[in-house]
Structures are given as C-alpha cells and as structure tokens.
Structure 1
Amino acid sequence: MKEGPVHIFNEEALSKNQPIFIVEGEIDAMSIMETGKAEAIGLGSVANINIFMKALYKAKKARKDDFYPTLLIALDNDDAGNRAINKLTTQLNQVGVTNYVVQIARGSKDANEALVKDRAQFTKDIENTLKDPDNRLQGLLDYINRNEEVEAIPTGFSNLDQVLDGGLYEGLYGIGAISSLGKTTFVLQIADYIAQLDRKPVLYFTLEMGTYELMTKSISRITFENAQGEETLAQGTRSLLKGKWKQRYNKAQYANVMQSFKEYGDFYSNVIIHDGSEARPTIYDISKTVNSYVARTGNKPVVIIDYLQILKPTNERGTDKANVTTSVNEMKKIATRYHIPVIVISSFNRLNYNSPVSMEAFKESGDIEYSTDVLIGLQLSGVGQKDFDVNEAKKQTPREVEAVILKNRNGATGDTLHYAYYSMFNKFLDMDSLEEPERQPQEAQTQVDDEGRVFSSTKEYREYLGQE
C-alpha cells in the first residue's frame, strides 16, 4: 500500500538531458527501466500531473539554461489516460519542453503487461520508440485507417463544398477579408448549417461580438429564409432587438419571427458560444476549453475562432506577428490532436481595401499562410478595377462578394466563388449553383408562447397549457 505524502517515482531522472518515458504506475516505470534502454518516471496516478510539473519546474530551475529532456508520454489506454495526456501535453508545450505521445504497449493494458507477455518484443518497441518517437510509419497506417471512414462535414454552400471535396476535414481553415465584409456572418452561417443539418457540435469563440448579438444574427437569417422572397416579413438584427415585431401590426411578420425562433431553438444548443468580447482568451485558454469539452463529452467539435488579430497575446513582450504565429501554430495542433476542422477568421488592414485578395494580404497575420490547409479570401466583386469604390460597393443590396481559394493543400487553388450577401438579413446566397434550393420552414419542436417563454418540446408546451 502507498503511505505517506504523494511523490513522483524516479523524478531524479529529470536531472539529465535524456529521453524519459512518463507512465502512470511505478511498476510500469520499472518495467521500462528493466530493459536497460531508457529511464522512466511513474506518476503514481493521473491525478498527480500538477505534482509532476512542480518537480519539472524544480529541475529546470536547478539546471538553468541546460535543460533539454525529451519526454515520451505513455499513459494507460483508457479515458482517464487520454484526458491526462491532453492536460500534460498542454502544460509541457507552454513551458517549451519537447514531448511525444507514444504507444509502447500495443495489445496490452500497460508497460508491465507488455513486458511479461513478450520481453524481447517489448524491448524492441522501446528501442524503436527512442529512434522514432513519432512512430511515423505506424502513424501513417493509423491515419489511413482513420481516413477510410472519415466523411466531409458540408458547409451548406454547394460551391464551396465542391471545391473542398465535399466539405470540411481535419485541418486549419483561414478565412480573411477587410472590415465589415461579412466574415463573421459567412462563418456563422456555416456553423449554423453544421449544427442544424449535420447535428454536429460547434465551439464558437467570439472575441468581438457578444453571445446575443451572434444569436440574433442567426435568427435574422432564418426570418429571411422563411420569408421566401417577401423581404417585408424578414427582420434585421436591429429590428429584432427593438422588438417592434411583437406589436403584431403585421400578423404574417409576427408569425414568421415566432417560427424562426422555434427553428433556431431546435439546434442552437449545438453551437456552443464562448463569449470573449470582454475577457479575451489566449490561444492556450481556447486549447484548454477544447480539451475539456472533448474529455467531458467525448464529442469532437468543429472549432471557430473569431478572430485572430484580437486574441490575447501569449507573450506580452512579444511582437504582434510573433504572438499571432504562436496562436496559429497552436490552432494547427488542436486540429491535429482531435482530427477536427478549426476555422480562424482573419482581418486585413486598410491597404488591402482596394486590392484583390492575395496571399500578400495575410502577410501581417504571422504564419497563417503557411500553417493553414485551406486559405480563403473574401472580396467585393470588381475590386482592383478602375474607378472601383469600396464604399459604393458596400451600399449595394445585395452585395456581390467573391471567395477566392488562395490555398487548398489537398485540392485545386485559384477558384473564385460568387455570393450575394444580404447584409441587413445576415444571409449569403450561393450564386454558382444553378438555382437556390427552395427552403420550407422546418417542423420545430421548440415552442415559444406569446409572453416569450421557451419550451424545449411541443409536449412540454401542451403540458404547460394543460392540454396533456
């Protein structure tokens, strides 16, 4: 039995710059050391990560600038082990310690079981891991096996899905444009489509707009879709917030708004909005939130960050470009860690207002042009032509907006997609398809009564009315 204060088994191994396996149990650590090939540290429990980090800080302080261990993380193959791996790797990355998540007990529960089962094979696995911690060949085979069953996540825009081979895959997607061109609206429309039609969760990190502002934009768009060309029945965000539609001077308008609230109520919980408009997070805060969500729910979400330039710096003394580069690199790690799409919105400076979008427009955005798998620039139609006036172009209803595919790691680049943007109603229409599919109001389960009470189902609403 373990008695006395908690301690980390063989923590003194941190005093040398060498590869060190990090495992859960003391017996597992001794099993690795018994091969004579490497040192190992036993946490004793996945709950002891903070204690281990204190030991690491102590060793780092003692060795000053001469601290370069390589940590090979091989925790147990279970849910608790996976959650601990996410927590440990995040903290190690923040302090700049080289680390790899490795697999040395394939087909076994842990290192000790693997040693007992086949000592020679286990020793060989240790040697191979030391030579190639990334285990690239096995990783490639695992990656291929995973991708055989991976299906694209449609964006809701037929023209964009066609260019992206069906929709979104694992990777980092960058979408940039000048101010007030509809970047947030475009990405929010994708988020709502994923939440409503694909029934997949979306973690939306908003750093400029508040939660209710985003929600109102979504409902405004639904009122426009349900109006089916009768724009007098649709509501802009401002008219929704003012509540004049509640006066019922136009019964059709009132009915449309109520129907749209009901439809939104059926899927809005799939768009989990994290409001950072006041207390802006760093990219590491976002990474922790994603780690926690996946560990808590087991679901792998689409992640959206709106937007890049106003993330809180990871280093207050670093340059803007250096901080953005750090943030972009961590976004890429989030996408790779969970095999999910991560979408980041980027803003262009005023020098790009009268120029066609290009990779150059992203140059001030750190390494975004290098790290992204797909890079899309939104621009007003006609930009760059003689006598083009950006302000006049913005006044058009609808605005003619183009999405230029500047980079597509796994597909063609250079495509230009065409959209009609109804800014008042927060709606982008795909203009490349032969025709916009006719949209019928959805059969909503959520109910809203005349006083604004929200009921999660028709049954709950009827029970409230005493009809059941």
Structure 2
Amino acid sequence: MKKTDAKTLKNCLPQWLREHGLPLHKPFACLNPVHRDTHPSMGYNEKNQTVHCFACGATYDIFDLVGQEENLTDFPSKMNAVNRRYGGGEVIRVTAKPTPIFPYKEGEGIPDPYFSGRGLSDETVLRFGLVVEEGYAVLPVFVNGVCRSVCRRAIDPAVEPRYKNSRGAMQLWNGAAIVRAVGSVLFVTEGIFDALSLEELGFPAVALCGAANTARLMKDLGGCAPVANPEKVVLAGDADEAGQGMNERLREQLTARGIACEVLPMPEGCKDVNEALVKDRAALQAACEAAATRRTEQRNPALEDEFLDYLSKRAKTAITATGISGIDKALDGGLHAGLTVLGAVSSMGKTSLMLQMADTLAAAGRDVLFITIEMSRMELIAKSAVRGTKERARPLLDGKLPEKKVRELISAYRQKTGGRVELWEPDAPLTPAFLDEKVSAFCESHTAPVLFLDYLQLVAPARAGMTEKQTADAAVAMLKQLARRYDMPVVAASSLNREAYRPGSAEPGMSAFKESGSVEYSADLLLVLKYRTDADKERRTGPRRLALTVLKNRFGATGESIPLDYEPEKELFRDGAAKTAPRTGRNVIR
C-alpha cells in the first residue's frame, strides 16, 4: 500500500469525524473514554487538526483517535493504521467557524455600586474591564488582550436566568497571572469574583470558571518550562463539595508536577473568597499572606519512599489465590492486579471457572463484583450452590428439589462466601460508560475489590455505528483503566474467533483473539482454556481433561500448560492428574 505523509494524513480528521456522526461546527460528547461527558464539551479545531475537550482537557488528532480504536500505543503503528484507512484518498478540508471576539477592553471598565458592594475598588473594575449592562454584571475573559468569552451574572438574585455566559467553553480568567506568578505564588479559584477579590488584595489569581476546568490550568502550566512555573500555588476553591473536589484534584496534579501547593483556609463562616473579602477584609488578607509565605514540605518525596508507600497500600491485595494449586503455582500465587482475559470456545466452562475463582476469593475475605451479561444472576447462584455437592444446578433451577434442600444449599453458599460476592445482571445495555459507573461505585464502597466480567464481547457499543471490533476495543480499554485506577485484578471472559471452532483447526493461540478486539495487546495475563489432547475432546465419560495455557504474562513466564479436570455436573474444577509441562518462556517483564 502506498504511504501518505503524516501531515497529509493528519488533515483527514474531518473524514473520521463524519464517519462517526460527529459535527464539525458545534460541540459533541468528549471522546476520552474515562470522561463521563453529560454536556457536549469537545470541539473540532481546523487550524491544528485536533479535537479538544474544554472540560477534561483531552486533545486528540486523528492518530490518537484511530490508535484509541485499535488500541495502538506507538506512533508508527498509529500512522500505518491511519494510512490503511485514508492513505491515497482525497483529503477534505473544512473551515471552522472563527473564534468570536467581544467588544470589551482591558482598562476600560465602568465603576458601579454593585462592584463596590462586592468589595472591589474602582481601580480593579477599570483594570479588568468590568461593566454593568441590562441588569447583569459583565465579567470579560481576556486572552492576549482580546476578549474571547464573557461571564454575565444577574445583579438581582431573583432574576432568571442567573447567568448569561457567552456560548462555547470559557477560557481561564486572568490567565496572564500565571506569567506574573513565575517564581512566586499563584492563587487559583473557581469563580471570577473570587479571583478578582484576591487581585484586589494584590495577589496574582486565576479563575477556572468552573471547578471541572482543572485540566486547562494544568495544560497552561505545562506550557512553561519547570523553572518558569510558580514557586507555589495556593488553592482557593469554595467551601463546598465542588470546591473541595477542585482543591483535591489540583493538589494531586500539582504535586505530581513538582509544584508546591496548599489550600487557603477560609475565614470562619465564609463560603468563598469574595464573601470573606466583604465580611472581613483584614482576616482574608492575613490568611493569604500566611499561605503565600508559609514554607512547604519537599516538593517530591524520595522515590524510595514513594514506592514503599505504594507497596504498603497494596499489602492487603497482594495475594489473590484462586484455590486451584496448579493455577496459583503457575501465576506466582494467583491473580494479580491488572487485566486477565480468559478465552475459550463456547461451553468449555470459562464461566464456571471464573465463578469458582470468585467464590474462593470471597471466602478468603475479598469483595467481588461479578458482572454477568450472558447468564442470569439466579443461574450463577445455582451453579455456586451445587458446586462439590451431590445436587445439580438444573434440577435446582427447575424447582425439583425440596424447599428444605434449597434453603440448605443457598445458606451454605451464602455462609461460605460471606455475602461478599455481588452478582450484577445489568438492566440496560452495558456500555463502557455504564460499566465504569457501576464498577467505580462498587470500588469506592468496598475494600480490596476484584472484578469479573462475563463476557467481553457482550459489552454494548459506546455509540451508534461502531463495529464489533471497535466495541470490543473500547470495552478492553475501559477494563484496563479500571484495573489501573483501583489497582485490582480484573478478569474477563472472551470468545475466540471463528477459526478456533473449525474442525481440525490448530490449538487456540494468540491469533485466536485477533477478531476479539485488542485483547492480545492490552491484557496483562492472557489465558486460554482448551482440551489437553484430541482424544480428550472425544471422551464422553468422566471429567473433562482440560488445560489452561498461559499465552501472555506481562510479569512472568509464558507457555505453561496447567492441567485441569472439569466436572460440569458438579460445576467444579480441580487440579488435573497429568504433570504440569515445564515452562518454556523466559521470566522477563514485557
């Protein structure tokens, strides 16, 4: 295939957007998989051929978007993928609408009693171009001396709408303060009046124009060399949940960037900075001066201390034994934090194996979320209840067992697992966003969680028009992110491609996942369940003689085949009778 140069390929972004039903001249839902964008906040930039989210700060070009779809990480692979789709074709150029300019000027504000009532002097009003028009206080937002957006706030609290802001995303208010604060102290607020209050007192201050706009500030700080950043940032979010959330997010991001920071303590009884200015100007002045001059601890902890802290947090989750000694031995103790994908042809027993693992982990004290899309919650409970007993799941589900026996089985299951397995059967299509919402809620309310998903290919597409492969890619990407975010084991069942089902086909290997999304690239541990031999496949009596093969192990050896005996009628997996084959891979980190 003839290759097109990267610059030309980059200009193919409009084609990609049109193919995905996304507009070019108005905002659309953010394409960042981890951003739950309830209000369209991403737009197309014709000048640099990117899309940018003004809420989370994500910026992508066509190489990023195609790479995200196909789970590619290196640029050559992304470029090849874009060339495969668009190389040699005609490039469509689309002219974006010009950025609006508003007729407000710096240094041309008009004093008004409303501003003096908010504690602002005429000098501050003039300096920042503040005016009152038609019952609204107009707060211009200047970028390089030009007004690019406007916040209008009703003077009378009873007037609706309360705010009449200019359309589109708001820029940072007073972004020039970042340059003024180089080598000194920068204050950060949510609202413009709070930043105006700090400027009134003589402190460089920038307003995010919304607590969720932290990414824009970090991007603007990132545009400077480290030596050109503020020496310290004082966070002055409102004394409510949104403001404290802003403070916390910025504290984490600034600390990671090596910028010292602290939170401005609000004077007692004040909900925000402007209220403090009006109620007790002297107290606010003292608090700001103390925050600006207070010495901070070392910007970055020693790497040794940081790593030891990480290990201490993982201490409770380090051992995740599955209860099957052959598996635990091959995997250095069991499942570890990261994404594990278990592949097999249908009816091989992958659901039963995962469910047995889940019950074992729960019995050992772990909190487990088992998401079932293929089978019902009651079917899974029946499988767990009869495991290792003389009873069978089908008669239990058909109501053929006496009530006393049913109660005994269910009670024994509940006591064994301690009620720590939540079997969740989604009541709506399980999109990646819905999956993120459910798992995040579970992880935030449970300690040392473990996630199981049955199964990967039944996750619903994030948006209309996505192919099966794109849908699976998005699901894998979300599972990977959840495993990293909560540092937990995530186990997902996966179907194999059509080739694995054909008579006489080779044993399933890495290539069996090629049509199942980006599994083979993203999984930390890739397992495939299959018959040990062709003769085992033909056996009709006794337990199924299976093997669990380690196709990929990011932090261990690959190639090991773990023998397992599976008794479907008992819903039970045991260690196989055959000896484990020697490891053939090298114990290296890949």
Q: Which category of TM-score, normalised to the shorter sequence, fits these structures?
A: 0.5 to 0.7
Deviation at 1:301, TM superposition (A): 1.6
Aligned residue in 2 for 1:454: none
* Aligned mates of 1:164, 1:407 — CA distance in 2: 11
Is 1:348 the equivalent of 2:496? Answer: yes
* Aligned mates of 2:171, 2:255 — CA distance in 1: 22
- Superposed, 1:29-44 pairs within 5 Å as 41=208, 43=210
Deviation at 1:184, TM superposition (A): 0.4
Q: Which runs of 5+ in 2 are unaligned?
A: 1-116, 119-155, 179-185, 223-234, 266-286, 580-590
**Residue number among 339, 348, 355 corresponding to 1:181 in the alignment:** 348
Is 1:207 the equivalent of 2:373? Answer: yes
The residue type equivalent to 1:309 in the other structure is Q
Is 1:263 the equivalent of 2:416? Answer: no
**Residue number among 513, 524, 528 corresponding to 1:373 in the alignment:** 524
* Aligned mates of 2:516, 2:484 — CA distance in 1: 21
Q: 1:137 to 1:365 in 2, by over 3 A?
A: farther
Conserved? CA contact 1:32–1:39, under 8 Å: no
**Residue number among 178, 183, 192 corresponding to 2:359 in the alignment:** 192
Which protein, 1 or 2, shows the higher relative CO under an 8 Å CA cutoff with sep ≥ 6?
1
**Residue number among 401, 410, 429 corresponding to 1:280 in the alignment:** 429
- Superposed, 1:12-161 pairs within 5 Å as 12-13=171-172, 41=208, 43=210, 102-104=253-255, 110-112=262-264, 116-117=290-291, 119=293, 140=307, 142-147=309-314, 150-161=317-328
* Aligned mates of 2:508, 2:400 — CA distance in 1: 40
Which structure features the higher share of helix residues?
1
Q: 1:424 to 1:81 in 2, by over 3 A?
A: farther
Q: 1:355 to 1:22 in 2, by over 3 A?
A: farther
Aligned residue in 2 for 1:220: 386
Secondary structure of 2:494's aligned partner: strand
* Aligned mates of 1:150, 1:27 — CA distance in 2: 46
Is 1:426 the equivalent of 2:577? Answer: no
Aligned residue in 2 for 1:409: 554
Q: What is the TM-score with the length of structure 2 in the denominator?
A: 0.52
Q: 1:29 to 1:172 in 2, by over 3 A?
A: farther
Q: 1:12 to 1:184 in 2, by over 3 A?
A: same
Secondary structure of 2:401's aligned partner: helix
Aligned residue in 1 for 2:451: 303
Q: Deviations over 1:173-225 (max 9, x none)?
A: 11110011001000000111111x2122111111110111111111121xxx2
- Superposed, 1:228-243 pairs within 5 Å as 234-243=390-399
Deviation at 1:350, TM superposition (A): 3.4
Q: 1:334 to 1:26 in 2, by over 3 A?
A: farther
The residue type equivalent to 2:341 in the other structure is G
Aligned residue in 2 for 1:448: none
Conserved? CA contact 2:371–2:423, under 8 Å: yes
- Percent identity reads 30
Q: 1:268 to 1:117 in 2, by over 3 A?
A: same
Q: What is the TM-score with the length of structure 1 in the denominator?
A: 0.64
Decide which structure has the larger Cα Rg and report it.
2
Q: Which runs of 4+ in 1 moved over 6 A?
A: 19-36, 78-83, 105-109, 120-124, 135-139
* Aligned mates of 2:368, 2:493 — CA distance in 1: 15
Q: 1:285 to 1:261 in 2, by over 3 A?
A: same
Aligned residue in 2 for 1:442: none
Deviation at 1:269, TM superposition (A): 2.9
Conserved? CA contact 2:330–2:562, under 8 Å: no
The residue type equivalent to 1:102 in the other structure is Q
The residue type equivalent to 2:442 in the other structure is Y
Measured on the aligned residues, the alpha-carbon RMSD in Å equals 4.9
Q: Which runs of 5+ in 1 are unaligned?
A: 60-67, 90-98, 129-134, 227-233, 248-253, 435-468
* Aligned mates of 2:461, 2:532 — CA distance in 1: 34
The residue type equivalent to 1:294 in the other structure is C
Q: Deviations over 1:48-90 (max 9, x none)?
A: x6xx79xx9xx9xxxxxxxx96799x999x99689968xx99x
Secondary structure of 1:366's aligned partner: coil
The residue type equivalent to 1:154 in the other structure is A
Conserved? CA contact 2:316–2:448, under 8 Å: no
Q: Deviations over 1:377-405 (max 9, x none)?
A: 1001214xxxx685x35x44311111001
Deviation at 1:349, TM superposition (A): 2.8
Conserved? CA contact 2:339–2:491, under 8 Å: yes
Q: Deviations over 1:333-372 (max 9, x none)?
A: 1111111111111011331134312111111122211111
Q: 1:433 to 1:108 in 2, by over 3 A?
A: farther
Aligned residue in 1 for 2:401: 245
Q: Deviations over 1:294-329 (max 9, x none)?
A: 33x243421111111110011322222122112111
